[in-house]
Amino acid sequence: MSSHAGTIDHHHDPSTSTGIPNKKLLMWTFLASDCMFFGALISTHLIYRLHPMPDAPSPKNIFSIELTSFSTFILLMSSLMMALAVTAIQKGNLKSMRWSILTTIFFGSIFLGCQVYEFQEFIEVKKMTITNSMLGTTFFTLTGTHGTHVAIGVLWLILMYVRSFQPPEAGRNTAWFIRHGVHIAVIIGAILLAIFSTLALVHTLHTGENLGAFFGGHFAMLAGLLACIAAGIFLARPNGPVNFGEANAIDVESMGLYWHFVDIVWIVIFTAVYLLEYL
């Protein structure tokens, strides 16, 4: 399986019996398994919705269909960005791929932020926790598992993004090793800080405090966020040839399959958990 000069056929791998690249087949089969995994969780939720306790909380009083519709839309958009990333790298367009992956990460993080907000609302305002009702148990477990899948996807995207800056002969380059670790850390830091500051901002707006208090009270967080963003921009400057190109498209494509799957599962969850209550 030596690399060939010239264009790679991204839809046919002559070294395999079927022409399907091994990694792609692996990811498809894994997704079939993950389908069953979510199927079992969704079934649990639906079965218990058919047998509620007499004093069970009603989802219609708890769910905010507007927020969830918004986050669903965001996740769908992230899938679009992901698809763009794949086509970009298949054409060897590294810059376009990096931008597309960053926007995928961005949208994915918004989705996660919305979920954190939603969970906080349910627990603190609607008083539904994972232990105090069956709805809480099935809801938080199902959407929490999905959210974990999204978070793993975001982490994978970050790693892939930073990987795209790897210089040749990286195995002997300690400086790169440290640099890329820092790069990953600042992106993760940026995401976490952005989520928490946004949530804090929303909370401030809800409670009617003035914005000055928000900026004052969260100065460290906002400063950290800006620093991480700046560092991220700094570390993303072109710095010589990289060991990432068309040949790596299969990895990005496999990751894309995972991301699209997580999105589709969300569509199913959104329908079965949220929309179904409004029929």
Partner 1 sequence: MEAILKTDLHAKDAHAPAKSSLFWRPTAQSGLISWLTTVDHKKIGFLYGVFALFFFLVGGVEALLIRLQLMYPNGTVLTAQQYNTMFTMHGTTMIFLAIMPLSAAFFNFIMPLQIGARDVAFPRLNAFSLWTFVAGAIIINLGWFMKDGAPDGGWVGYSPLTSKTYAPDHSIDMWVMGLQLLGVASIAASLNFIVTIINLRAPGMTMMRLPVFTWMTLITAFLIVLSFPFITIALVELMMDRLFGTNFFEVSNGGMPILWQHLFWVFGHPEVYILILPAMGVVSEILPTFSRKPLFGYPIVVFSGASIGFLGFSVWSHHMFTTGMGTMATAAFSLATMAIAVPTGVKIFNWIGTLWGGHISMRTPMMFALGFVWMFMIGGFSGVMHSAAPADAQQQDSYFVIAHFHYVLIGGSLFALLAGIHYWFPLMFGRKVSEFWGKLSFWVIFAGFNITFFPMHFLGLNGMPRRNFTYESNLGWNSANFIATIGALILGVGIFIYFAVMVYTFLKGEKVGKDVWDARTLEWSLPNPPPEYNYRVIPTVHARDAYWYNKQHKAEIAQEEAEHAKAEAAHGGIHMPHQSIYPFVASLGLFIAGLGIAVVDHDPSPGFWGKKIGLSMIGGVVMLAGIYFWALEGNEGYHIHLDDEGHAPADKNAAKH
For partner 1, the binding residues (CB under 8 A) are 1-2, 16-18, 20, 22, 25-26, 29-30, 32-34, 36-37, 39-41, 44, 47-48, 51-53, 56, 130-131, 133-134, 136-138, 141, 159, 163, 170-174, 177
Q: How far is the CB of 223 from partner 1 (least distance, A)?
A: 26
Tokens 């793993």 sit on residue: 152
CB of 29 or CB of 69, closer to partner 1: 29
Dihedral over Cα of 199, 116, 277, 76: its sign: positive
- CA angle, 197 then 203 then 204, to 5°: 90
Q: If phi over 0 gives left and psi between -120 and 50 gives alpha, with beta otherwise, what is residue 264?
A: alpha
CB of 16 or CB of 239, closer to partner 1: 16
Q: How far is the CB of 237 from partner 1 (least distance, A)?
A: 22
Token pair of 217 as six digits:
């009270």
CB of 236 closer than 8 Å to CB of 98: yes
Burial class of residue 68 (count of CB atoms within 10 Å of its CB; 0-12, 13-18, 19+): buried
Q: How far is the CB of 37 from partner 1 (least distance, A)?
A: 4
DSSP run (H or E) holding 223? helix 219-235
Rg (C-alpha) for the chain, rounded Å, is 21
Task: Please state the φ and ψ torsions of residue 245, each to the nearest 5 degrees.
Answer: -165, -150
Task: Please state the φ and ψ torsions of residue 63, each to the nearest 5 degrees.
Answer: -70, 150
Q: How far is the CB of 28 from partner 1 (least distance, A)?
A: 9
* All residues at 6 or more sequence positions from 104 whose CB lies less than 8 Å from its CB, including other chains: 78, 81, 82, 85, 157, 259
CB of 172 or CB of 212, closer to partner 1: 172
Q: How far is the CB of 52 from partner 1 (least distance, A)?
A: 7
Q: How far is the CB of 173 from partner 1 (least distance, A)?
A: 8
CB of 50 or CB of 279, closer to partner 1: 50
Q: How far apart are CA 202 and CA 198, in angstroms?
A: 6
CB of 129 or CB of 198, closer to partner 1: 129
Q: How far is the CB of 256 from partner 1 (least distance, A)?
A: 16
CB of 73 or CB of 177, closer to partner 1: 177
CB of 33 or CB of 207, closer to partner 1: 33
